[in-house]
Each structure stands twice: as C-alpha cells, then as structure tokens.
Amino acid sequence: MSEEREKILEIKDVCMDFKQKRHKVVHAVNHVSLDIYKGENFGLVGESGCGKTTLGRTCIRLYDPTSGQIIFDGHDISGKLTKDTRKFLTSHMAMIFQDPIASLDPRMTVQEIIAEGLHNQGYKDKAQIDSMVKEMLNKVGLLPEHATRYPHEFSGGQRQRIGIARALVLKPEFIIADEPVSALDASIQAQVINLLMDMKEEFGLTIMFIAHNLAVVKYFSDRIGVMYYGTLVELADADDLYVHPLHPYTKALLSAIPEPDPLSERRKTKLYYDKSMHDYSKEKPSLQEVVPGHFVYCSDSEKEAYLKELDS
Amino acid sequence: MTFYEDNKELYDSIPAEKFQLVQNNEDIHDAAFRTKPIGFFKDVWLRFIRNKASVIGGIIILIIMVFAAIGPSMNSYTYTEQHTDLANMPPKVPWIAKLNLGIMDGHYTLTKRQYDNIKDTSKYPEGCILKLKNPRIINGVKIVDVVVDYYKYKGLDDSQCYWLGSDYLGRDIWTRLWKGTRISLFIALFSVLCNVIIGVIYGSICGYYGGAVDMVLQRIMEIINAFPRIVVLTLFIMVAGTGMFSLIMAMVIKGWIPIARMIRSQFYRFKGHEYVLASRTMGTNDQKLIFRHILPNSIGPVITQAMMAVPTTIFSESFLAYIGLGLQAPNSSIGVMLSTGQKVLMQYPTQVLYPAIIISLLMICFNLFGDGLRDAFDPTQRGVS
C-alpha cells in the first residue's frame, strides 16, 4: 500500500559520526534508511542517546551527514548545499525543539522570534510580516498583544506554542518535532499535541515526531520507527507495531510502558534487551521487510523465526 | 468525597437547564498580560538602581567626569603656564579661607626662623604672619616656626590664588589635576573600548567557528600574551615616541586577550543552545547568528569586565607615568602628578593628596559600579568577587 503514496523525505543509508578526542568516533546514526510519506505522522522512538535527535537534526542539516543521501521533495539535501537548496530547505522544512525555555532567544520579543524566518526568506513589507505573525499567534491560541512580550514572561506550554508558531509561520510542508512535549506536564502535553494535530490538518503537514514517550507516540503517529544505538531496528504501522512487535528491543520497550492498573502492572513481565542474543557472526543483519510494511533489522534466519512467530 | 450515588436525590433535584458548558463556542485564548513588557536590559537597569553603592559610585564617576571636562577652564590658568617665582604655593580658596577652618587658606609653616627678624617688613610683609609656634633657643639664637599666609608672604593680593596650590614650576594644580584626570580617563576608556572591540571580534570568531580556526587563533593569542608589557611599551616609545599613542597601544596590545577569552567561552556556551539551532534551521546566516543571537546573550559579563578593566587601566597608566614611561612634560596625567608630587611629599604633601584622592575615588567607584553591573546582569553571581 505504501507504494502509491508520495514520498516527501527519503533517507538512504545515512550515517552521522562524531569525532571525539584521539581518533575515537561515535556512530550516532548508523546506516539508517527510511521513507516518510506525504501527510503522515512518522514517530521515531528509542531510549535516550540512541540517535533519534541526531537523525532529526541531520535531516534539517544542522549536522552534515557523514555519508548517505537525504532526498527532500525531489531535492538532494545531503552534501554541500547550494544557496537555492538551502533556501528551499529552510522554507519547506521546520523544526520544533524539545526545551521550550532554551529554544527561544531570551533577548528577543515574540514578534522578533516568529518573524525571524520571514526576514530570512526575504520578506520586506513590515505590515505584511506583522499581520502574518499576528495570524500565527492567533492560530496557536495566543493574543496579538503577546507579540511585544519576552519569552520569560510565558509559561512552558505557551512557550512551546510560540515555538510551534515560529516553525509554522513559513508554511512548511514538513515538520520535525523533536520531543516537543517531553518538557511539559501531562495536561499541557495534551494541549500541545492537539494543537499540532489541528495545525497538521489545517496546513496539510507531514510530521516527524521524535519522542521517548510511547503512549504519546502511539496516539500521534501513523507509522513508527524504533531506533537502538544509532540503528533503525523496526519500522511498522503504529497499530501493527504495538500489537505484533517483532524485534526483541521493541518488545522490551513496549513492556516498559506503565499500566494505570497497579495490579496488572505488578503481574506484567518486564523484558530486557541484550544485544548478545543475536548471533550475527555468520549472517550479516539488514533491515528486511518481514511482512509488507513491517521492517525489522535482522538476519535471514531471524526473519524466518519472526515469520513463524507471526503465524502462530 | 461525596459520590453521585450517595446523594442521588440532591443532585437530581437540580434542573438540567441550570447546567451550562464552560467555554462553549468560544476560542480558547490565553489572557493578556496586565503588566508592561520588561526586556532584558530594562530588567538589568531595574536591578542595578536597587544597588545603592553602585549608583553612588556611578554618580561620583559622573561628577569626576564633569569636572574633568570643565575643570581646566574654571580658572584663568592653563596647564602649561609657569610662574617660577610662585612655585610650590599652598592651596588657597578665598571663601574657605574666610571660614577660618585652617585648611585651604594659603597658610604655610616656615621652620627655624630667627625671632629677631619677625618685625622686619622687608622679610615678612605686613599682616602675613598668622602664628608663631615652638619658640626655642638654639646656639643662643631665638628660633621660632612661623605660620604665614604664603600669598601675603609672597606679596600677592587676595584676588590671586591657586585653589589647590601650585607645583615646583608654579603651575596651577587644579587645572593640571582635571586636565590629568581627563587624559587618564581618556586613555583608560579609549583603550578599554579598543580592547572590547578587538576582543569581541576575535573571541567571536574563535568561539563561533571553533575547530582549526580556533586552534590557530588561540595559539596566536598565546604568543602575543607572552610578550612582557614593559618591553613592548619601551619598543613603542622607541618607535613612536612617548605620548598617548604609545600608552594606548601598551594597554591594548595585551588588554584585549582576557575579553577575547571570555567571549570565546561564552560563544562555546551559547552556540549549541537550542534557540541558536532553531534560528539556523530557519536559514539565518552566520553574521546574524553572531550579532543577533549569541552576542546579546553573552554581552553582560563583557560589559562588567570592561568596567572592571577601567580602574586597572587608570592604575597601570599611573604606574607607567610613575616609573617615567608615561606622558612627558608638560602634559599632565594623574600618574605624572603623583610622581612629581611624591618628590616633595614631606614638604608639600598637598601636591600628592589631591591626585591621590581622585585616583582612589575612581578606583573605588569603578569597582563598585562594575560590581553592581555584574550583579544586575547575573544575579546568581551576587557577592562573588
């Protein structure tokens, strides 16, 4: 079914290495390939430090990928960017950041923060910029009067909405939401998530949602990718992934979701994932499509085992 | 807790139409703020004026600056005008002299005078003797110390006076003091300004680009830092002669390094911040990132450090003048006045007193002012020095 849909972002075999002191290299993202289709919510989950954020930042070119190719809307955005490609990238892709306090410049007013992207794209007419900023503020549930305020005067949820307004003011097609609700409390999380949903409908956005809160991801996403230590280990439709997790790491991750009922929580068996359970000495693992639309990082013999598991 | 089941009758007795949906058919919007927006610098200002000591420091600095500007033209003397016959006059201000406080009335004690000559009007003009002190007999001669009105003793009338006295060439100390303060302040402020400009640009480049660029620039900085300042200054004096240029260069050649280091560390701290990244995702160029985002956030400590550098610079200017590497005659600066006054410290202590007061006030006030600024920019640093 995924063949007919239009791809907005293709990540092909992307690696992102960070050099540390004395020839030590950290492979933050290790040969990851995935496609994101127009109009979907793609969730990316994994434990802290597994490279989700790095992958997101590499997609928007905050980092230069070490190898591999990223194709966004038909434009190759890996490698050296020309002026036109950069302009295309910055106006069509936007990012929402995790920390609502750190992601707004404390020395700038809300107006300046939101209008910055417009200035960068060469908008000159002051009245037009003003009206666009006001419109955006209205959309995220703030008042036009808030434009003259400084970020420290707002609460966490309000700041995150300012961050969303900043990302959306250029009317991008693709949004990378890097843990947008992790720093907020539960009631505000719902507010921000619902706002994102509304905006998605209104602007026809495609969202890459990076999170470690599995409940939020399940609520939000159509398809989910699971990352472990820089590698994409499983990629499937959201429902499919939650009902039939195949990779042992995904199973461990799902078993960690707390249940509201204390009795069933106590009875639940928690799974632990150990890398050494795989024997990759003979067969090299790769991302394989076990059933249509469900990819798992495994070797051929493991694939057989997973297929058997699905049948039973 | 009361449950519906427990109070069924009570709840059911309320008619349904009394219930009303909250926020029905209206957009949910956050309330407008009632207060005025307070930006960062306004916040700093509000915190600063609450600190009384630094406000007073600032006011004293301002007063000294005003005097440095208008002081030299307040009387008829110029700072180079010499009256060698009127050398080392004591200070005299006519209206203070009338109050009979014993200060600034032009009195001067002539020691070991023969008592017999007191009446001699060719030696002691009419009415110049104020008091006789300490009569004693040495080798059979009557000796006294004579307190005289030195201006009358020199045969001057009441209209002519040196407010703070005159130096060994008969130049007016008031004029030279404020002229010197003006020059000292100018050297200090100008060299600090140069330091800040060079330091900010250099440090920004180091901190923003990092990596190899930073490596090379840091090594260059360390090499420059290794030159001893006195040697550099002496070389400058050899090439460019003594004067303001050499002095300012001596302050600037190494003075920008601490500021560059601080700016660099601030850039390392702020360039990875999410708001900088967020700005980059929207296509902001390097120049804008440096000057619109990172620099305004790191400017607080720079201003503070620059303020703290002013008294240090004034002091090193004085030090250089004192060891003879500073401004040369007839130019005056606080350091020049201190070093000439120090030679006659025992005889004419007032020649050192006034420049010393001014330089001490400047040091104390700039430090208080800088402390206040630091606390205002970064309240978490309060009390750390």
Asked if B335 and B318 touch (Cβ cutoff 8 Å), the reply is yes
Question: In the structure encoding, which two tokens stand for residue B41, read together?
Answer: 């610098």
**CB-based contact A153 B33, cutoff 8 Å:** yes
ipTM over 0.95: no
Judged by CB atoms closer than 8 Å, whether chains meet at B40 and A107 is answered as yes
Could you report the per-residue pLDDT of A228-263, keeping only the tens digit for each?
Answer: 888 899 999 988 888 888 888 888 888 888 888 888
User: Residue B26: is its pLDDT beyond 60?
Assistant: no
Query: What would the mean pLDDT of A138-143 be, rounded to a whole number?
Result: 86
**Does the CB of A170 have a partner CB in chain B at under 8 Å?**
yes
> Distances in Å between the alpha carbon of A217 and those of A91, A180, A207?
26, 11, 12
- Phi, psi (degrees; rounded to nearest 5) at B284: -75, 140
**Nearest CB to B30: which of A60, A141, A170?**
A141
Q: Among B283, B284, B297, whose Cβ lies nearest the Cβ of A106?
A: B297
The 10s digit of each residue's pLDDT in B179-207 is 888 888 898 999 999 999 999 999 999 99
- Return residues 68-127 of A near B (CB < 8 Å): 86-87, 89-91, 93-95, 97-99, 102-109, 116-117, 120-121
Q: Does the pLDDT value for residue A113 go beyond 80?
A: yes
Instruction: Find all residues with CB under 8 Å of A102, minimum gap 6, and list them.
Output: B273, B274, B275
Render pLDDT for B76-116 as a digit per residue (tens, 0 to 9).
778 777 777 777 777 777 777 777 777 777 777 777 777 77
Among B254, B36, B279, B253, CA closest to A97 = B279
In a domain, A249, yes or no: yes
In a domain, A124, yes or no: no
CB contact under 8 A, A107 and B284: no
Residues of A in contact with B377 (CB under 8 A): none
Token readout for B149 is: 């009105």
**What are the tokens at A130?**
């003003």
CA-closest candidate to residue A167, choices A132, A228, A117: A117
Q: Do A143 and B30 touch (CB under 8 A)?
A: yes
Distance between A220 CA and the closest CA of chain B, angstroms: 22
Inside any domain, residue A241: yes
Whether the predicted pLDDT of A264 surpasses 50: yes
Residue span of the structural domain in which A33 resides:
7-100+173-311
In a domain, A54, yes or no: yes
Distance to chain B for A83, nearest Cα, Å: 10
Q: How far is the C-alpha of A144 from the C-alpha of B261, rounded, in Å?
A: 41
DSSP character at residue B117? G
For the cut 70, the answer to whether the pLDDT of residue B177 exceeds it is: yes
Q: Tokens for B342?
A: 């120090």
Which of B38, B282, B285, B288 is best to mutate for the A interface (most A CBs within 10 A)? B282
Residues of chain A in contact with residue B38, where contact means CB-CB under 8 angstroms, are 150, 153
> Distance, in angstroms, between A107 CA and closest chain B CA?
6
| pLDDT band with cut points at 50, 70 and 90 for residue A2 | very low
The CATH number given to whatever domain includes residue A292 is: 3.40.50.300
Q: Which two tokens stand for residue A149?
A: 């305020």
* CA distance to A2, A77, A176, A290, B150, per residue, from A12 (Å): 17, 12, 18, 19, 97
pLDDT of res. A1: 43
CB B77 within 8 A of CB B175: yes
Q: Nearest CA to CA, how far is B208 from chain A (Å)? A: 14
Is B282 within 8 Å of A104 when comparing Cβ atoms? no
C-alpha to C-alpha distance for A204 and B11, rounded to whole angstroms = 46
B residues 282..321 contacting A (CB < 8 A): 282-285, 288, 292-293, 296-297
Confidence bin at B63 (pLDDT 50/70/90): very high
Among A195-204, A212-221, B118-127, name the most confident range. A195-204
Cβ proximity of A222 and A167 under 8 Å: no
Amino acid symbol at A138: N
Tokens in use for A134?
């006001």
Mean pLDDT along residues B103-132: 75
Q: Please state which of the ranges A166-175, B114-123, B228-237, B250-259 shows the lowest mean pLDDT.
A: B114-123
Q: In this complex, is the C-beta atom of B269 within 8 Å of any C-beta atom belonging to chain A?
A: no
Cis ω on the peptide bond leading into residue B91 (within 30° of 0)? no
How does DSSP classify residue B291?
A: I
Token pair, residue B196, equals 């800040």
Question: How high is the pLDDT of residue B193?
Answer: 93
Would you call B37 an interface residue with chain A, using a CB distance cutoff of 8 Å? Answer: yes
With CA atoms as reference, the chain A residue closest to B30 would be A142
Residues of B in contact with A103 (CB under 8 A): 274-275, 277-278
| Number of folded domains that form chain A | 1
Continuous H helices in chain B? 8-12, 40-49, 52-70, 94-98, 150-153, 173-209, 211-226, 229-240, 244-270, 274-281, 286-288, 295-322, 334-343, 350-377
Start-to-end C-alpha separation, chain A:
24
> Strand, helix or coil at B149?
strand
Mean pLDDT of the residues in chain A: 86
Contact A35, A204 (CB under 8 A): no
Distance from CA of B290 to the nearest CA of A (A): 13
Place of tokens 């302040």: B185
Tokens of B131: 């008091």
Q: In this predicted structure, what is the pLDDT of residue B365? A: 92
**What number is the average pLDDT over the span A94-116?**
88
Residue B11 has pLDDT above 80, yes or no: no
Place of tokens 């009875």: A267
The token duo for B82 is 């010499």
pLDDT score recorded for residue B323: 79
pLDDT at position B55: 92
HEC string of chain A? CCCCCCEEEEEEEEEEEEEECCCEEEEEEEEEEEEEECCCEEEEECCCCCCHHHHHHHHCCCCCCCEEEEEECCEECCCCCCHHHHHHHHHHEEEECCCCCCCCCCCCCHHHHHHHHHHHCCCCCHHHHHHHHHHHHHHCCCCHHHHHCCHHHCCHHHHHHHHHHHHHCCCCCEEEEECCCCCCCHHHHHHHHHHHHHHHHHHCCEEEEECCCHHHHHHHCCEEEEEECCEEEEEEEHHHHHHCCCCHHHHHHHHCCCCCCHHHHHHCCCCCCCHHHCCCCCCCCEEEEEECCEEEEECHHHHHHHHHHHHC
Distance CA B49, CA B78 (A): 39
pLDDT of B324 over the 80 cut: no
Enumerate the residues of chain B whose CB falls inside 8 A of the CB of residue A62. Answer: 277, 280-281
Percent pLDDT > 90 in chain B is: 15
Separation CA A147–CA A133 (nearest Å): 8
CA distances from B160 to B75, B88, B91, B96, B104 (A): 11, 15, 12, 14, 14
Q: How far is Cα A248 from Cα A239, in angstroms, rounded to an integer?
A: 17
Task: Give the span between the Cα atoms of B152 and B144, in whole angstroms.
Answer: 19
Q: Tell me whether residue A117 is in a domain.
A: no
Chain B residues touching A89 at Cβ < 8 A? 283
pLDDT band at A123 (very low <50, low <70, confident <90, very high): confident
Kindly list the residues from chain A whose CB atom is less than 8 angstroms away from the CB atom of residue B32: 143, 145-146
- Chain B residue numbers touching A146 (CB-CB < 8 A): 30, 32-33
* Contact yes or no for A116 and B279 at CB 8 A: yes
pLDDT digits (tens, 9 = 90+) for B307-320: 888 888 888 888 88
What local confidence, expressed as pLDDT, does residue A269 receive? 80
Min Cα distance B299 → chain A (Å) is: 11
The yes-or-no verdict on residue B39 having pLDDT over 80 is no
Task: Please give the full DSSP string across B187-216, using - where no structure is assigned.
Answer: HHHHHHHHHHHHHHHHHHHHHHH-HHHHHH
Residue B381 is predicted with a pLDDT of 60
* pTM of the model as a whole: 0.79
Q: Give the pLDDT mean for A185-199.
A: 85
Could you tell me the two tokens for B305? 């450090």
**Rounded Cα gap, residues B365 and B371, in angstroms:** 10
| Chain B nearest C-alpha distance from A178 (Å) | 11
User: What percentage of residues in chain B have a pLDDT greater than 70?
Assistant: 94
Is position A229 within any domain?
A: yes
Q: Which DSSP category does B81 fall into?
A: -
How far apart, in Å, are the Cα atoms of B11 and each of A173, B8, B19, B21, B299? 51, 5, 12, 17, 63
Span A83-98, average pLDDT: 88
Report CA B352 to chain centroid distance, whole Å. 19
Q: Specify the pLDDT at position B29.
A: 66
Kindly tell me if the per-residue pLDDT of B1 is higher than 70. Answer: no
Query: Choosing among B281, B286, B294, B297, which should be mutated to test the A contact, i.e. which has the most A CBs within 10 A?
Result: B281
Residue-level pLDDT at B22: 65
Top pLDDT among B62 and A244 is at B62
Mean pLDDT of B16-41: 71
Instruction: Point out which residues pair with A177 in neighbouring strands.
Output: A96, A209
pLDDT higher for B380 or B13?
B13
Tokens 């010197």 belong to B180
Identify the pLDDT of residue B197.
93
Q: Cβ A97–B277 below 8 Å, yes or no?
A: yes
Beta bridge partners of A16: A29
Nearest-by-Cβ selection for A120 from B40, B274, B283: B283
